[in-house]
Amino acid sequence: MEKRIAILGSTGSIGTQALDVVRKYPGVFTIEVLTAQSNYNLLIRQALEFLPNVVVIGNPDYYPFVSEALNSYPIKVFSGEDSISQVVEMDTIDLVLNSLVGYSGLKPTLNAIRAGKDVALANKETLVIAGELVMQEAIQNRVNILPVDSEHSAIFQCLAGERYDSVEKIYLTASGGPFRGKNRSFLESVTRESALNHPNWKMGDKITIDSASLMNKGLEVIEARWLFNLSPQQIDVVIHPQSIIHSVVQFVDGSMKAQMGLPDMRLPVLYALSWPIRIPSELPRLSFANYPQLTFETPDREIFPNLDLAYFALNKGGNLPCILNAANEIAVGAFLNNRIGFLAMSLIIEKCLEIIPFIDYPSYDDYVQTNEITRRHAGEIIGKY
Ligand code: MN
């Protein structure tokens, strides 16, 4: 019953934590494929430890280093973005963990589904961009999409043994990020470094900025809409600064179920890898003595307009969530490069939602095109700053 796993994005935050989990369960999980975009040194070290059948280095410039370092091992080495999309189709893979960042995750997810692989999905952008298409394909191909995002893992765990039509609504919890309670004049001048300093979670740069701007929660609302087949009105957000309750389901009889635990991504990763069973772990346990108070607040939608932008995109549908995501990726990149300020990110996204042509029922090719046009347009707006 060994589960053979492909990890896309193995050198990133989720990828390295997933390997921490896999390392603890020899004979239960084996690594079949590892892929990385550019961190070839770490990819080589991971390959030497886990001896996968295949590694892929996305950036072809680094191919010679990886190939040379692994040439005396029975490990095939490929390079290029297309190889990352293709490698998920290998017969020997049971489960694909997609921990790529942003739009680049979409094609590999779709290919994995079409090849009949279960997907442990950490790449929420896949569902934000093309959730309807992805879930249709998952149903057609009879594969499971297992959420790795902690909030969605929480909902998924609360729903175990329940009927989906018993759900009245869900609450996604949000820590509020490093700028919770701040006003707009404070946000006007915040630095990249202070935005990267998340109070509870250690994550990659892109998602950490998304958390500070509440865009992460906006993307997660859209992700939840498709994962659990809910209407936008059934999805609510509550600020919970301690990040102990990971999300809540409210049922039609008024009963609520919450899933709790320390904020440690290895737990939702382990659940996605071991599903449908639970396996014992030595991950740190929560002590109630350390958390005498769990508190809840309403998000401030005026100071953090991204949440409403995401609901707007979700309600209108079509290619708007794809526009939202593409504009956000470019805006976050520009903020990380100190090209624009924190508040400019929302303005750029709003402008793109207004200007990029709306498509009611987009095909896959429409998503590809919308993504390209939006990125170009957002780049032009940023050029004027
Ligand atoms: Mn999350």
Quote the pLDDT of residue 114: 98
Determine the distance separating the centroid of ligand 1 and the alpha carbon of 174, expressed in angstroms.
8
> How many angstroms does the Cα of residue 56 sit away from the middle of ligand 1?
27
Report pLDDT digits (tens) over 172-192. Answer: 999 999 999 999 999 999 999
Ligand 1 centroid, distance to 30 Cα (angstroms): 26
Please report, for residues 112, 134, 209, the alpha-carbon distance to residue 142 in angstroms, rounded to integers and kept in the order given: 12, 12, 35
Q: Which residue has the tokens 């609504």?
A: 169
d(C-alpha 320, C-alpha 322), whole Å: 5
d(CA 304, CA 318): 24
Ligand 1: distance of its center to the CA of 149 in Å?
5
Task: Report the SS3 class of residue 144.
Answer: coil
| Ligand 1: centre distance to CA 113 (Å) | 22
CA 264–ligand 1 middle distance (angstroms)? 11
**Rounded to the nearest whole angstrom, what is the distance from the C-alpha of residue 178 to the centroid of ligand 1?**
15
pLDDT of residue 113: 98
Mean pLDDT of the chain: 97
203: pLDDT strictly greater than 90: no
SS3 content of the chain, % helix, strand, coil (to 5): 50, 15, 35
Question: What is the Å distance from ligand 1's center to 68 Cα?
Answer: 38
CA 271 – ligand 1 centroid, Å: 15
What is the distance in A from the centroid of ligand 1 to the CA of 6? 22
Sequence-separated contacts (24+) of 225-229 with Cβ below 8 Å? 225/131, 225/314, 226/127, 226/131, 226/132, 226/134, 226/135, 227/127, 227/131, 227/135, 227/145, 227/147, 227/152, 227/155, 227/156, 228/155, 228/156, 228/159, 228/164, 228/167, 228/170, 229/135, 229/164
Q: 203 C-alpha to center of ligand 1: Å?
A: 10
From 191-200, 228-237, 255-264, 285-294, the region with the lowest mean pLDDT: 191-200
- Between the CA of 150 and the centroid of ligand 1 the distance, in Å, is 5
Q: Model pTM?
A: 0.97
Domains and CATH numbers, the chain: 3-147 (3.40.50.720), 149-265+280-315 (no CATH), 317-385 (1.10.1740.10)
Q: Encoding tokens for residue 83?
A: 């190889």
Report how far ligand 1's centroid is from the alpha carbon of 309 (Å): 18
Residues 34-63 pLDDT 10s: 999 999 999 999 999 999 999 999 999 999
How far, in Å, CA of 128 to CA of 224, rounded? 9
CA of 66 to the centre of ligand 1 (A): 32
Distance 153 CA to ligand 1 centre (A): 9
Residue entry with tokens 């440690």: 264
Give 122 Cα–ligand 1 centroid separation in angstroms.
9
Ligand 1 midpoint to CA 220 (Å): 7
CA–CA separation, 150 vs 269, rounded Å? 9
Tell me how far the alpha carbon of residue 276 lies from the centroid of ligand 1, in angstroms.
Answer: 21
**pLDDT value for 96:** 98
Residue 11 Cα to ligand 1 midpoint, Å, equals 19
- Judged against a pLDDT cut of 90, whether residue 132 lies above it is answered with yes
CA atoms lying within 13 Å on the CB side of residue 212: 30
Q: How far is the CA of 212 from the centre of ligand 1 (A)?
A: 12
- Confidence tier at 385 by pLDDT (50, 70, 90): confident
* Ligand 1: centre distance to CA 124 (Å): 9
* Amino acid 202: pLDDT: 80
Ligand 1 center from residue 8 Cα (angstroms): 18
Confidence of residue 239 (pLDDT cuts 50, 70, 90): very high
- What are the pLDDT digits (tens) for 63-80? 999 999 999 999 999 999
Q: Cα(300) to centroid of ligand 1, in Å?
A: 18
> Average pLDDT, stretch 256-268?
98
DSSP string, 337-367: TTSS-TTHHHHHHHHHHHHSPP-SS--HHHH
Q: Residues 324, 330, 334, 340: is their CA dihedral positive or negative?
A: negative
pLDDT for res 1: 74
CA proximity to 225, closest of 157, 135, 158, 148:
135
How does pLDDT run across 347-360, given as a tens digit for each residue? 999 999 999 999 99
- Tell how far the Cα of 76 is from the centroid of ligand 1, in angstroms: 34
Determine the pLDDT at residue 14. Answer: 96
Ligand 1 centroid vs 248 CA: distance in angstroms?
Answer: 13
For residue 61, the CA-to-ligand 1 centroid distance in Å is 33
